[in-house]
């Protein structure tokens, strides 16, 4: 007869099963146990492979997620560039319109200048006529003076008047000639200015004035900017389309990875369930000592906490405090609760002793039902240095481990839980471990779990 023990439900109760094996002999019983142990070993190997595959897929999922975020950022930036290029196009159009308006204004000024030139021509003509009149007046005055001299004393007064008229006519002539000279110079300058202002589209570019050459240069530069902006906008539009396609592909890849992760999760649970069922039957396996150690350590922590509550060292409400207060400037984030001082004082005596049970044991920690680890093993409870990779591996106390494995162990209320997972050691480094956990109960109330991690 082969006598086996297994768990019947999640309440922690066990059911004793007597299995009669026909023609059971010590050899047959030994063979059956060997087969079960071999199955447990195979399930353990499957669980290790499943955990490793799951870890790789989680890494890939993180990369895909980061790529998705990057593609979204690229798409937003391309949209911003597209908008900016649209603004450039609007500005260049406004600039071209401003240049055209300036040309029109110059043409208007040119027309006004031509009107001024016509007025000056009229002034010059009038000055010429005044000169002619002055010449004629001087000639008449000269003749009058001659006649006055012939008349003798009778014409002396008239001669004086004639001489005065002749002098006045000379001054008028001189002044009118000066006016004509000044008007001529002004006319020449205004003509040059008018020539600079006039714009002839049929004229050769080299023969245009400096003003209109500058306008033409500005127009050409603005048009080149506008063309470049149009080309860039078209390129960005195509890039945006490609980015959206890539984003869609990344989302599809992420969805497929989620499906693969769910499958690996089921696969891992099957392997863990097989190992757990074998252990539950009472058959000794490689995992049995660690399961028993986790149960013993959980009971010891439970006793220490119950005694602390009973003695008044801590109130039960403080022991179950879940108002985690973040410690500033910590990465990974660390937190404080009202029971950290008690944990610092009580937990090491159990946790450190469990490290010595086997070289395979990596850690032994007590966590509350939310995965909060107030006090880790001393070698992993170093103050942070500001180096994320080092801090992740060596400053593991005061942290909340609410990953799949951590939360399952923290909230498990069955006699034990056996899991396989990759432990994040920071800097992209991971360690593949098994973990045995058992519930910690204080005064009949589930407080958390005792976790022992060990290598394969």
DSSP assignment of 149-169, as one string?
Answer: HHTGGGGHHHHHHHHHHHHHH
pTM: predicted TM-score of the whole model, two decimal places: 0.54
How far is the C-alpha of 73 from the C-alpha of 79, rounded, in Å? 10
Which candidate, 88, 104, 173, 101, places its Cα nearest to that of 137? 173
| Residues 43/278, Cβ–Cβ less than 8 Å | yes
Which candidate, 109, 120, 117, places its Cα nearest to that of 211? 109
Q: Phi then psi for 362, rounded to 5 degrees?
A: -95, -35
Tokens 């023969």 found at:
207
Residue 437 β-bridge partners: 417, 451
Q: What is the CA radius of gyration of the chain?
A: 52
Report the run of H or E that residue 326 belongs to, with start and end.
strand 325-326
Which candidate, 422, 40, 47, places its Cα nearest to that of 269? 47
> Which has more confidence, 89 or 447?
447
Average predicted confidence (pLDDT) for the chain: 78
pLDDT at 318: 97
Domains of the chain: 46-273 (1.10.287.950), 287-456 (3.30.450.20)
Which candidate, 170, 172, 149, places its Cα nearest to that of 159? 149
Q: What would the mean pLDDT of 193-217 be, rounded to a whole number?
A: 62
| Residues 419/274, Cβ–Cβ less than 8 Å | no
Contacts of 243 (CB under 8 A, 6+ apart): 71, 74, 75, 78
Which candidate, 109, 131, 127, 118, places its Cα nearest to that of 187? 118
Q: What would the mean pLDDT of 279-306 be, rounded to a whole number?
A: 89
Q: What would the mean pLDDT of 262-289 be, rounded to a whole number?
A: 70
Structure tokens at 34: 């060997």
pLDDT at 106: 66
Q: What would the mean pLDDT of 276-291 be, rounded to a whole number?
A: 77
254-260-264-265 Cα dihedral, nearest 10 degrees: 60
pLDDT at 13: 39
Q: How far is CA 103 from the centre of its chain?
A: 47
> b or e along 127-163 (b: 16 or more beta carbons within 10 Å of the residue's beta carbon)?
beebbeebeebbeebeebbeebeeeeeebeeebeebe
Cβ atoms within 10 A of the Cβ of 69, count?
12
| Residues 279/418, Cβ–Cβ less than 8 Å | yes
Structure tokens at 267: 């696969």
Report the run of H or E that residue 431 belongs to, with start and end.
strand 429-442
Q: Residue 74 — very low, low, confident or very high, per pLDDT cuts 50/70/90? A: confident
> Which has more confidence, 140 or 398?
398
For 266, counting Cβ atoms within 10 Å of its Cβ (0-12 exposed, 13-18 middle, 19+ buried), the class is exposed
DSSP secondary structure of 192-230:
HHHHHH---TTS-GGGS-HHHHHHHHHHHHHHHHHHHHH
For 449, counting Cβ atoms within 10 Å of its Cβ (0-12 exposed, 13-18 middle, 19+ buried), the class is buried
* Percent of the residues in the chain that have a pLDDT greater than 70, as a whole number: 69
pLDDT at 55: 64
């Amino acid at each position: 007869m082969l006598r086996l023990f297994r768990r019947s439900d999640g309440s922690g109760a066990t059911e004793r099963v007597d299995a009669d094996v026909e023609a059971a002999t010590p050899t047959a019983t030994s063979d059956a146990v060997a087969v079960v142990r071999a199955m447990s070993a195979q399930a353990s190997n499957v669980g290790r492979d499943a955990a490793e595959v799951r870890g790789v897929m989680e890494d890939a999922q993180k990369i895909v997620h980061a790529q998705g975020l990057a593609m979204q950022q690229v798409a937003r930036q391309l949209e911003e560039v597209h908008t900016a290029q649209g603004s450039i196009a609007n500005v260049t159009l406004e600039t071209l319109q401003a240049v055209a308006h300036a040309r029109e204004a110059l043409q208007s000024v040119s027309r006004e200048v031509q009107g001024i030139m016509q007025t000056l021509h009229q002034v010059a003509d009038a000055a010429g006529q005044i000169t002619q009149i002055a010449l004629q007046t001087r000639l008449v005055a000269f003749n009058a003076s001659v006649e006055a001299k012939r008349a003798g004393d009778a014409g002396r007064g008239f001669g004086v008047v004639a001489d005065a008229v002749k002098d006045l006519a000379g001054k008028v002539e001189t002044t009118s000639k000066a006016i004509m000279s000044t008007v001529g110079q002004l006319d020449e300058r205004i003509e040059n200015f008018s020539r600079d202002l006039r714009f002839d589209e049929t004229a050769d570019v080299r023969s245009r004035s400096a003003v209109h050459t500058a306008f033409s240069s500005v127009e050409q530069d603005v048009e080149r900017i506008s063309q470049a902006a149009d080309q860039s906008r078209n390129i960005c539009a195509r890039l945006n389309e490609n980015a959206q396609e890539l984003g869609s592909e990344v989302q599809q890849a992420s969805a497929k990875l989620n499906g693969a992760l769910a499958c690996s999760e089921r696969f891992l649970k099957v392997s863990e369930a097989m190992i757990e069922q074998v252990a539950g039957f009472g058959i000794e396996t490689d995992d049995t000592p660690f399961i028993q150690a986790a149960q013993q350590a959980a009971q010891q922590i439970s006793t220490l906490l119950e005694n602390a509550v009973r003695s008044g060292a801590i109130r039960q409400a403080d022991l179950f405090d879940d108002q985690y207060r973040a410690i500033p400037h910590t990465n990974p984030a660390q937190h404080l609760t009202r029971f950290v001082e008690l944990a610092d004082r009580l937990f090491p005596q159990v946790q450190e002793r469990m490290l010595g049970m086997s070289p395979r044991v990596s850690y032994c920690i007590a966590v509350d039902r939310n995965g909060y680890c107030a006090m880790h093993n001393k070698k992993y409870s170093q103050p942070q240095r500001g180096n994320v990779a080092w801090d992740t591996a060596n400053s593991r106390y005061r942290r909340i481990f609410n990953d799949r494995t951590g939360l399952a162990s923290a909230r498990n209320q069955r006699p034990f839980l056996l899991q396989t997972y990759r432990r994040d050691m920071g800097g992209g480094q991971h360690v593949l471990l098994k973990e045995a956990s058992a519930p910690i109960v204080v005064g009949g109330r589930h407080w958390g779990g005792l976790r022992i991690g060990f290598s394969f």
